């Protein structure tokens, strides 16, 4: 292949998305390849946080629910996020956590299947992000109506797992470990053929790959804002309910924010029309406000341009690792096929945890996932081609010199 660092610098110079990096405050001396887990801080977030805290809260106090638009923020931000996932404004709310939104979406979908008492199976993947499985188990157990969670072992096994007993097919679009991306349209069509509804988790998709929920005729979706969307640590997640399901969508966390007339203080719940019924209670306003700073960066570009750069970055990383680190026991886990690849690349190494710790100590921040997987996230809004080159050089030196501690101690969050 024979790519040099000079070539990578030239690609950065020709990259129309390169100026977007200026929207972020990244510390000097760090190559940040973990935007798939916690996105970097938009520069605007600092002033926004100060304004929310000093003026909206400090000075304007309770009037800010109206004057600063606090109450409407989940829906207003949902409208800004909608184009990134092929949704309409009015179909997305930014609220709660991904886990909680998943519970609401699953419960709403299961309830829509209640007319058929045989549809009691929630199908998902054993390799799904654990909270998705745990939330499905929690719902199934709590319902006490014979619901079960069926785990499939590989994407190829999904078709055979669907049948007349399937209530919901719950899938994460891009797998958090491997970076494998499902064909959302094909799997949704298959689920519908069997009478099942689909719930898609877009945690590793929103802001990373183009998503067309309407094009795929999907039923429900949830996702994170603190990963590729750069909303900040613990930023509220999102939930999508398409217009065609909104009337039938009843979720059990029927708090007052989902009420048709919340300030009438009525003694009984009546859901509001629209996506508002996906809301539960009072939102973390400071954190929610910062989500907008991340979304505003995406308003300056589009997912097709970001996807082209993401694929170029991941292609480059795979090629450079395979060329420059040849001979070391690295195994590519991520699909080479563009149609099946998300925006992170995972390699196994027998001492993956230790090698990742050595990389982090040298300023290359990726992360580690069991078993043996080193994960490198490529965030097209701020990762450069030269950084890909430099990260691989550092990896090569660590491997060539055995410069890692196989007894590296584990932190609480790995
Ligand atoms: C990151 C991630 C989550 C996180 O859920 P939280 O409730 O925000 O902790 C859920 N599902 C998937 C697939 C993820 O990748």
Is there a domain that residue 131 lies in?
A: yes
Judge whether 355 and 346 are in contact, CB under 8 Å: no
* 245, 220 Cβ separation under 8 angstroms: yes
Q: What integer pLDDT is reported at residue 414 of this predicted model?
A: 67
Same domain for 101 and 209, yes or no, is yes
Structure tokens at 199: 């719930």
* Boundary (domain end) residue, out of 250, 266, 299: 299
Q: Is the peptide bond before 371 cis (omega within 30 degrees of 0)?
A: yes
Residue 126 lies in a domain: yes
Q: Measuring from atom 1 of ligand 1, which residue has the nearest CA? A: 203
Same structural domain, 83 and 183: yes
Considering the domain boundaries, does residue 379 fall inside one? yes
Match 């419960």 to its residue by tokens: 107
Number of other residues whose CB lies within 10 A of the CB of residue 12:
16
What stretches of 99-243 adopt beta strand conformation (E)? Answer: 121-125, 148-152, 166-172, 197-201, 220-223, 238-240
Provide the terminal-to-terminal Cα distance of the chain, rounded to the nearest Å: 34
Ligand 1: distance of its center to the CA of 1 in Å? Answer: 37
Atom number in ligand 1 closest to CA 99? 7
- Cα separation values, 51 from 200, 282, 302, 310, Å: 35, 20, 28, 33
**Cα separation of 44 and 405, whole Å?**
39
**Secondary structure letter of residue 350 according to DSSP:** T
60 located within any domain: no
Q: Tell me whether residue 165 is in a domain.
A: yes
What the block records as the tokens of 248 is: 């039938």
Q: How many C-beta atoms surround the C-beta of residue 220 within 10 A?
A: 27
Whether 203 is in a domain gets the answer yes
Whole-angstrom Cα distance, residue 166 to residue 203?
A: 24
Domain tally for the chain? 2
Place of tokens 């003026």: 55
Shared domain for 312 and 234, answered yes or no, is no
What does 369-413 look like in DSSP terms, one character per residue? ETTTEEEEE--TTT--HHHHHHHHHHHHHHHHTT-S-TTPPP-S-
Are residues 255 and 348 both part of a single domain? no
- What CATH number is attached to the domain comprising 138? 3.40.640.10
Ligand 1 center to 37 CA (angstroms): 9
From its phi and psi, is residue 337 left (phi > 0), alpha (psi between -120 and 50) or beta? beta
Residues contacting ligand 1 via CB (< 6 Å): 97-99, 129, 131-132, 172, 176, 201, 203-204, 224, 237
Q: What residue spans of 83-129 are helical by DSSP H? A: 98-112
Do both 380 and 269 map to the same domain? Answer: no
- Of 243, 275, 299, the residue at which a domain comes to its end is 299
- Comparing CA positions, the residue from 361, 343, 345, 348 lying closest to residue 397 is 361
Cβ pair 220, 197 in contact under 8 A: yes
> Domain end: 299, 327, 353, which one?
299
Q: Is the CB of residue 395 less than 8 Å from the CB of residue 359?
A: yes
129 part of the active site: yes
Classify residue 99 by burial, with Cβ atoms within 10 Å: 0-12, 13-18, 19+.
Answer: middle
What is the C-alpha separation between 406 and 134, in angstroms, rounded?
32
Query: Which residue, among 277, 280, 128, has the nearest Cα to 199 in the 3D structure?
Result: 128
343 and 210 Cβ atoms separated by less than 8 Å? no
Residue 316 shares a structural domain with residue 225: no
Mutate to test the pocket of ligand 1, among 224, 225, 375 (most ligand atoms within 8 A of CB): 224
Give yes or no: residues 148 and 112 share one domain.
yes
Q: What is the pLDDT of residue 262?
A: 96
| Residue 267: other Cβ atoms inside 10 A | 5
Same domain membership, residue 306 and residue 265: no
Same domain assignment for residues 337 and 205: no
Spacing, Cα 98 to ligand 1 middle (Å): 5
Token pair, residue 16, equals 């129309």
- The parts of the chain modelled with pLDDT lower than 50 are none
CATH of the domain at 381: 3.90.1150.10
Residue 346: what are its φ and ψ, rounded to 5°?
-120, 135
pLDDT tens per residue, range 285-334: 999 999 999 999 999 999 999 999 999 999 999 999 999 999 999 999 99
255 shares its domain with 313: no
Q: Is 226 a catalytic residue?
A: yes
Question: What are the counts of helices (DSSP H) followed by strands (DSSP E) for the chain?
Answer: 13, 15
Task: Name the burial class of residue 403, with classes exposed (0-12), middle (13-18) and buried (19+) by CB atoms within 10 angstroms of its CB.
Answer: middle
Q: Name the residue range of residue 287's domain.
A: 71-299
Determine which one of 24, 32, 103, 129 is catalytic.
129
Residue 56, in any domain of the structure: no
If residue 191 lies in a helix (H) or strand (E), which one and from where to where? Answer: helix 184-193
Q: Among this protein's residues, is 201 annotated catalytic?
A: yes
Regarding whether 384 and 237 lie in a shared domain, the answer is: no
Check if the beta carbon of residue 354 is closer than 8 Å to that of residue 406. Answer: yes
* 17 & 92 share domain: no
- Is 281 a domain residue? yes
d(CA 206, ligand 1 centre) in Å: 12
């Amino acid at each position: 292949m024979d790519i040099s660092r000079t070539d990578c610098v030239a690609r950065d110079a020709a990259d129309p998305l390169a100026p977007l990096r200026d929207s972020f405050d990244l510390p000097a001396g760090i190559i940040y390849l973990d935007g798939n887990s916690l996105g970097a801080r938009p520069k605007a977030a600092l002033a926004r946080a100060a304004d929310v805290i000093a003026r909206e809260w400090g000075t304007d106090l309770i009037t800010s629910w109206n004057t600063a638009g606090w109450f409407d923020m989940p829906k207003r931000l949902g409208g800004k996020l909608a184009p990134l996932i092929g949704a309409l404004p009015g179909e997305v709310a930014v609220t709660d956590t991904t886990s909680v939104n998943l519970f609401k979406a699953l419960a709403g979908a299961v309830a829509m299947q209640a007319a058929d008492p045989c549809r009691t199976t929630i199908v998902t993947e054993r390799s799904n992000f654990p909270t998705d499985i745990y939330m499905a188990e929690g719902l199934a157990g709590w319902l006490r109506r014979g619901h079960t969670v069926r785990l499939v072992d590989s994407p190829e096994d999904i078709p055979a797992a669907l049948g007349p007993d399937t209530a919901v097919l719950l899938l994460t679009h891009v797998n958090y470990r491997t970076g494998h991306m499902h064909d959302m349209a094909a799997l949704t069509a298959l689920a519908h053929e069997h009478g099942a509804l689909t719930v898609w988790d877009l945690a590793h998709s929103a802001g990373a790959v183009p998503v067309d929920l309407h094009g795929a005729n999907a039923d429900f979706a949830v996702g994170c804002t603190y990963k590729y969307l750069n909303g900040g640590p613990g930023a509220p997640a999102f939930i999508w309910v398409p217009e065609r399901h909104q009337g039938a969508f009843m979720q059990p966390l029927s708090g007052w924010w989902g009420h048709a007339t919340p300030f009438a203080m009525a003694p009984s719940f009546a859901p509001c029309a629209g996506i508002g019924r996906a809301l539960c209670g009072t939102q973390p306003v400071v954190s929610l406000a910062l989500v907008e700073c991340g979304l505003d960066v995406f308003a300056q570009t589009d997912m097709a341009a970001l996807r082209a750069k993401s694929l170029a970055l991941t292609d480059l990383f795979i090629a450079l690792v395979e060329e420059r680190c040849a001979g070391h026991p690295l195994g590519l886990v991520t699909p080479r096929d563009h149609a099946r690849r998300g925006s992170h690349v995972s390699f196994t190494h027998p001492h993956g945890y230790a090698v990742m710790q050595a990389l982090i100590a040298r300023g290359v921040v990726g992360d580690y996932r069991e078993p043996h997987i080193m994960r490198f996230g490529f965030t097209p809004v701020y990762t450069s081609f030269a950084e890909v080159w430099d990260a691989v050089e550092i990896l090569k030196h660590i491997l060539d010199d055995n410069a890692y501690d196989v007894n590296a101690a584990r932190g609480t969050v790995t």
